[in-house]
């Protein structure tokens, strides 16, 4: 099995990125061949500041390593270090139906808001398909918001295979039910574009303040409440040990508590949960050359595989001798 996933370097990673995807990257690296990359070509559709893009790209490498990605087990690299992917993107683009891309949410949402979209945003899912198909990936750990893109990838691969023979491996999204859509502090999906995130590597005191400011409903304290679906409880469930989570759920169902109490418990649990990765990140940040070395080794490994797949695809569609 080949596991592959990518994350855009558009700013500090948040709980949604971690619980929706990164935690799965790490769990899967032990038994599978895993490729994880930093999607800087995708980020270029929104980050148009060279210094920032470079910094965010490096920061994501630090984040992933600090969170437990082990370069001895998984291959970590930067998307643009594998130019074969961009070439594969073009090959896929030649057969990508406009209607399919018009239905993709990033483009559709922008258009619905009356904003003008670039071709890069429109073709974003095709580049994502190239990312996946370039390494014969079959398992793609992602949050729910990326499932549509994996479906597009399957459509493009299926149609290419239909025309040119069995060229591509069919990938599948790997989504865990309980963390597919982590809520932000306003209850909507946690997302940088909604400005509702809790950053993984936030200073503990700042994070506590953010948690304390979460707006809650005005039901009376004594009322019994269903825990699932309540933002505070759902966030608490991600970072609290199982026994504490069960005790919290029981407290919700009994009623007779204040949300202030829950916020404090959430801030305490979060502080504990991120202590080790924070320390590891500080250690790694002191050795930037080691991080660059890991990325260079990863890119070399990834390129080797992508070149093999690209060669196969080029032959199949007739732009290289058979
Ligand atoms: P990106 O950078 O937006 O997000 C990285 C990962 O985090 C997940 N995620 C969430 N999961 C649950 N709840 C949330 N609130 C939440 N917010 C984000 C995303 O689902 C994702 O798995 N297009 C991709 C990057 C990409 C990619 C790829 C992914 C480029 N090529 C190939 C897989 C395979 C993206 O923008 O992810």
DSSP 8-class letter at 22: I
Kindly list the distances between the CA atom of residue 134 and the CA atoms of 81, 85, 177, 255, 295, in Å, as whole numbers in the listed order: 13, 6, 27, 53, 18
CA distance 144 to 179: 9
| pLDDT tens by residue, 237-285 | 999 999 999 999 999 999 999 999 999 999 999 999 999 999 999 999 9
In the set 110, 225, 264, 315, the catalytic residue is 110
pLDDT category of residue 150 using cuts at 50, 70 and 90 = very high
How far is Cα of residue 204 from the mean position of the Cα atoms in its chain? 23
Mean pLDDT computed over 229-240: 97
Q: In the prediction, which pLDDT does 218 show?
A: 87
Tell me which of 45, 146, 302 to substitute to probe ligand 1's pocket, judged by most ligand atoms within 8 Å of the beta carbon: 146
Tell me which of 2, 4, 17 to substitute to probe ligand 1's pocket, judged by most ligand atoms within 8 Å of the beta carbon: 17
Coil vs helix vs strand at 64? helix
Annotated domain spans of the chain: 4-181+288-317, 202-281
Across the chain, mean pLDDT equals: 96
User: What tokens appear for 308 in the block?
Assistant: 């093999």
Q: In the prediction, which pLDDT does 115 show?
A: 87
Residue 256: how many CA atoms within 13 Å on its side-chain side? 3
Report CA(297)–ligand 1 centroid distance (Å). 24
Q: In the prediction, which pLDDT does 302 show?
A: 98
Q: In the prediction, which pLDDT does 116 show?
A: 87
Instruction: With CA atoms as reference, report the closest residue to 133 among 107, 164, 106.
Output: 164
pLDDT category of residue 219 using cuts at 50, 70 and 90 = confident
Note the CATH architecture for domain 202-281. Answer: Orthogonal Bundle (1.10)
CA distance 55 to 60: 9
Atom of ligand 1 nearest to the CA of 18: 7
Mean pLDDT computed over 210-227: 92
Ligand 1 contacts CB of residue 104 (under 6 A): no
Report CA(252)–ligand 1 centroid distance (Å). 31
3-state SS track over 87-122 = HHHHHHHCCCCHHHHHCCHHHHHHHHCCCCCCHHHH
* Known catalytic residue at 192: yes
Residue pair 67/26 in contact (Cβ under 8 Å)? The answer is yes
What's the N-to-C CA distance of the chain in angstroms?
28
pLDDT higher than 90, residue 32: no
* Known catalytic residue at 52: no
| pLDDT tens by residue, 171-212 | 999 999 888 999 999 999 999 989 999 999 999 999 999 999
CA distance 240 to 233: 10
pLDDT higher than 90, residue 292: yes
pLDDT category of residue 162 using cuts at 50, 70 and 90 = very high
Residue pair 79/127 in contact (Cβ under 8 Å)? The answer is no
> Of residues 221 and 5, which shows the higher confidence score?
5
* Known catalytic residue at 189: yes
CA distance 166 to 180: 31
Q: In the prediction, which pLDDT does 178 show?
A: 85
Instruction: With CA atoms as reference, report the closest residue to 28 among 79, 74, 75.
Output: 74
Report CA(250)–ligand 1 centroid distance (Å). 33
pLDDT category of residue 1 using cuts at 50, 70 and 90 = confident
pLDDT higher than 80, residue 322: no
> Does domain 4-181+288-317 sit in CATH 3.40.50.620?
yes
pLDDT category of residue 288 using cuts at 50, 70 and 90 = very high
């Amino acid at each position: 099995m080949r596991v592959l996933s990518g994350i855009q370097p558009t700013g500090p990673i948040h709980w949604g990125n971690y619980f929706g995807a990164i935690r799965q990257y790490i769990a899967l690296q032990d038994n599978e061949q895993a490729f994880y990359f930093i999607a800087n070509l995708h980020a270029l559709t929104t980050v148009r500041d060279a210094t920032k893009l470079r910094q965010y790209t490096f920061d994501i490498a630090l984040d992933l390593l600090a969170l437990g990605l082990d370069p001895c087990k998984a291959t970590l690299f930067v998307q643009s270090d594998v130019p074969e992917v961009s070439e594969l993107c073009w090959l896929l683009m030649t057969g990508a139906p406009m209607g399919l891309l018009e239905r993709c949410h990033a483009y559709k949402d922008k258009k619905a808001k009356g904003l003008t979209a670039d071709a890069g945003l429109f073709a974003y899912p095709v580049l994502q398909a190239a990312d996946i198909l370039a390494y014969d990936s079959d398992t793609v750990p992602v949050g729910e918001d990326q499932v549509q893109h994996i479906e597009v990838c399957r459509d493009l691969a299926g149609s290419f295979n239909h025309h040119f023979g069995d060229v591509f491996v069919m990938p599948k999204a790997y989504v865990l039910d309980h963390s597919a859509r982590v809520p932000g502090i306003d209850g909507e999906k946690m997302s940088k574009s909604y400005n509702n995130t809790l950053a993984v590597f936030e200073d503990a005191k700042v994070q506590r303040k953010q948690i304390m400011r979460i707006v809650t409903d005005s039901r009376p304290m004594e009322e019994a409440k269903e825990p699932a679906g309540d933002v505070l409880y759902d966030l608490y469930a991600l970072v609290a040990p199982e026994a504490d989570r069960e005790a919290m759920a029981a407290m919700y169902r009994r009623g007779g508590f204040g949300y202030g109490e829950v916020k404090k418990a959430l801030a305490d649990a979060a502080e504990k949960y991120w202590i080790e990765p924070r320390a590891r990140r500080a250690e790694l940040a002191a050795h930037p050359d080691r991080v660059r070395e890991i990325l260079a080794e990863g890119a070399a490994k990834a390129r080797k595989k992508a070149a093999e797949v690209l060669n196969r695809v080029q032959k199949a569609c007739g732009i290289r001798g058979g």
